[in-house]
């Protein structure tokens, strides 16, 4: 057999050039990082604020889960008492959502981001809570957490209507509303940190 000669390149091929990013958007929401790729990662104070927001929503979710289970048990066990059970659960939902809003505002006050605002506008994070969670009078616009939760509380007079598939659908709707409110608040924190939409940041970050 004829021996094959090994291939010996006569010239090294040039490697393609690479671009190394000097900054990162780690820690920012996908929406914000996509719109503003020059943004830096969250610092310690901002990370602490995000943790407090998540803790407040985790606590709210746990408390609401427990109250909701009690409500469903009451309307299944005694349909004749469903009217008073609905009222009690509605009142609890409003009060607990107000507490969540107060906790969020309290966290914002302790952060430099808490006083960020657009020219001529109130504090951005306070506006965010009132529009996405609950207003100062216990009400909220369409799409806010309190409105979404109140409109998905089943008002039944027949225990058969509170069957497992039905309660599962109500539960999913409410859990989705809580998750949407959490995401809106966290995205708001990221947007304010970026200074987007003319929102002025304090200088002592």
pLDDT of residue 45: 58
Q: Go through the chain and tell me how many residues it has.
A: 205
Better pLDDT: 196 or 113: 113
Range of the domain at 91: 43-193
Assess if residue 189 is contained within a domain.
yes
> Is 58 a domain residue?
yes
Residues 65/70/76/80 CA torsion (nearest 10 deg): -130
- 19-28, 38-47, 55-64, 81-90: segment of lowest average pLDDT: 19-28
Residue 59 maps to a domain:
yes
Count up the domains in the chain and report the number: 1
Please indicate, yes or no, whether the overall pTM of this predicted structure exceeds 0.95: no
Mean pLDDT of 190-205: 56
Task: Give the domain CATH number at 143.
Answer: 1.20.120
Distance CA(130)–CA(203), nearest Å, equals: 25
Task: Look at residue 205 and tell me if it is in a domain.
Answer: no
Half-sphere exposure of 202 (CA within 13 A, CB side): 15
* Residue 147 included in any domain: yes
Within a domain: 90: yes
Inside any domain, residue 204 = no
Average pLDDT over all residues of the chain: 74
What pLDDT band is residue 201 in, cutting at 50, 70 and 90? low
**Long-range contacts, 102-107 (Cβ 8 Å, 24+):** 103/56, 103/59, 104/53, 104/56, 104/129, 104/133, 104/185, 105/129, 107/49, 107/52, 107/53, 107/56
Assigned domain for 87 exists: yes
């Amino acid at each position: 057999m004829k021996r094959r000669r090994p291939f010996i390149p006569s010239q090294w091929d040039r490697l393609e050039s690479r671009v190394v990013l000097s900054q990162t958007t780690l820690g920012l929401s996908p929406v914000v990082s996509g719109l503003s790729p020059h943004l830096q990662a969250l610092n310690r104070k901002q990370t602490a604020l995000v943790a407090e927001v998540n803790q407040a929503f985790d606590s709210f979710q746990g408390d609401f889960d427990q109250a909701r289970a009690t409500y469903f048990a009451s309307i299944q066990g005694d349909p004749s008492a469903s009217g008073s059970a609905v009222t009690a659960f509605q009142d609890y939902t409003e009060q607990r959502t107000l507490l969540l809003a107060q906790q969020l505002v309290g966290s914002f006050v302790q952060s430099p981001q808490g006083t960020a605002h657009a020219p001529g506008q109130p504090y951005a994070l306070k506006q965010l809570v009132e529009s996405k969670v609950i207003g100062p009078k216990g009400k909220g616009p369409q799409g806010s957490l309190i409105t979404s939760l109140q409109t998905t509380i089943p008002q039944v007079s027949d225990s058969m209507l509170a069957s497992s598939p039905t309660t599962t659908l109500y539960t999913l709707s409410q859990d989705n509303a809580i998750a949407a409110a959490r995401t809106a608040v966290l995205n708001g924190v990221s947007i304010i940190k970026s200074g987007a939409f003319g929102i002025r940041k304090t200088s002592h970050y």
